Amino acid sequence: MIEIAVVPCLADNYAYLVKGPDFCAVVDPSQAPPIEAALAARRWRLTHILNTHHHLDHTGGNLDLKQRFGAKVVGPGKDAARIPGLDIGVTEASGWQIGGEMVEVLEVPGHTRGAITFVMGGDAFTGDTLFAMGCGALFEGDPAMMWASLSKLMQLPGATKIYCGHEYTQKNARFALTLEPGNPALAQRMDAVTATRARGEPTMPSTMELEKATNPFLRVSSAEIRAALGMQAADDIAVFAEVRRRKDSF
């Protein structure tokens, strides 16, 4: 059995504690103090630090946590030089094991060249590649690359829980509604998210099924979205690129 705790960091980042029978990992620690407090509250001892990509708001706590707990840093092997304190570089081909549990590594370039998603059983940690109703900005990739990465994530079973790197959900929902106001699943999710945030709770996790039903970046074949963009006959990558372009200035 795996237990997961959501740990808010910085202004709107999420790190995650993943506790198994004989390991405790943190995914994307922006900073050490909130992670240390969350560990202490549960009397958990950190064994591993997992990074989805090199950005400082996902790796800023690496060195402090590594020094304090002797935890091993695990991250994208193809971006080894940019991951502070990296001990174990993983690739899609290598996968990885933690305490006898198989961890699937999906290489999902686009937000950064080296971005990866960790899949542990039915839980996927997508960093800044896939957000609730959004996707990461294309800092180091192009639309074709990001679309291929999101398409790879869409192969995960619908029940897969999605844990992403930021609480951007409400703003993403507002943007999604500009393109697809007639999507009943989206309207319903907007209401649910508004209530969750009003209680001050995180909107994580999502599920792949819910993302496919409401995330405009995964819904480039939606007739309503294509009509909104005037791109009924365009190919998927072109539609994705236009949705991304509009979100960049939303």
For binding to Zn ion (CB under 5 A), which residues are involved? 55, 128
- The answer to whether residue 123 is catalytic is no
- The answer to whether residue 48 is catalytic is no
Cα 80-86-88 angle, rounded to 5 deg: 90
- State the catalytic residue, choosing from 28, 48, 53, 79: 53
Contact between 80 and 58 under an 8 Å Cβ cutoff? The reply is no
CA distance 240 to 144: 8
Mutual orientation of helices 236-248 and 169-179 as an angle, nearest 10°? Answer: 120
- State the catalytic residue, choosing from 28, 111, 123, 248: 111
Give exposure, 150-181, as e/b (b: 16+ Cβ within 10 Å).
beebeebeeebbbbbbbbbbbbbbebbbebbe
Q: Is the dihedral of CA 39, 40, 45, 49 positive or negative?
A: positive
* β-sheet bridge partners, residue 124: 119, 162
Contact between 169 and 197 under an 8 Å Cβ cutoff? The reply is yes
Question: Which residue stretch of 162-170, 191-199, 201-209, 223-231 sits at the interface with Fe ion (rule: CB under 5 A)?
Answer: 162-170
Q: Which does 226 bind (CB under 5 to 8 A by kind): Zn ion, Fe ion, none?
A: none
- The answer to whether residue 191 is catalytic is no
- State the catalytic residue, choosing from 28, 48, 54, 57: 57
- The answer to whether residue 235 is catalytic is no
> Taking the complex as a whole, how short is the minimal distance between the CB of residue 62 and Fe ion, in angstroms?
14
CA distance 237 to 147: 6
- State the catalytic residue, choosing from 55, 64, 87, 123: 55
Give the pairing type, strands 3-9 and 206-207: unpaired
Question: Which residue stretch of 70-78, 82-90, 104-112, 165-173 sits at the interface with Fe ion (rule: CB under 5 A)?
Answer: 165-173
Question: Which residue stretch of 56-64, 112-120, 173-181, 201-209 sits at the interface with Fe ion (rule: CB under 5 A)?
Answer: 56-64
| Closer Cβ to Fe ion, 14 or 147, answer by number | 14
> Taking the complex as a whole, how short is the minimal distance between the CB of residue 131 and Zn ion, in angstroms?
11
> Taking the complex as a whole, how short is the minimal distance between the CB of residue 43 and Zn ion, in angstroms?
31
> Taking the complex as a whole, how short is the minimal distance between the CB of residue 57 and Zn ion, in angstroms?
6
Residues 119-148 that bind Fe ion (CB under 5 A): 128
> Taking the complex as a whole, how short is the minimal distance between the CB of residue 132 and Fe ion, in angstroms?
14
| Closer Cβ to Fe ion, 58 or 189, answer by number | 58
Give the pairing type, strands 88-90 and 72-76: parallel
The residue type at 232: Q
* 57 in contact with Fe ion (CB under 5 A): yes
- The answer to whether residue 54 is catalytic is no
- State the catalytic residue, choosing from 166, 191, 235, 248: 166
CA distance 221 to 244: 15
Residues within the interface to Fe ion (CB under 5 A)? 57, 128, 165
Active site residues: 53, 55, 57-58, 111, 128, 166
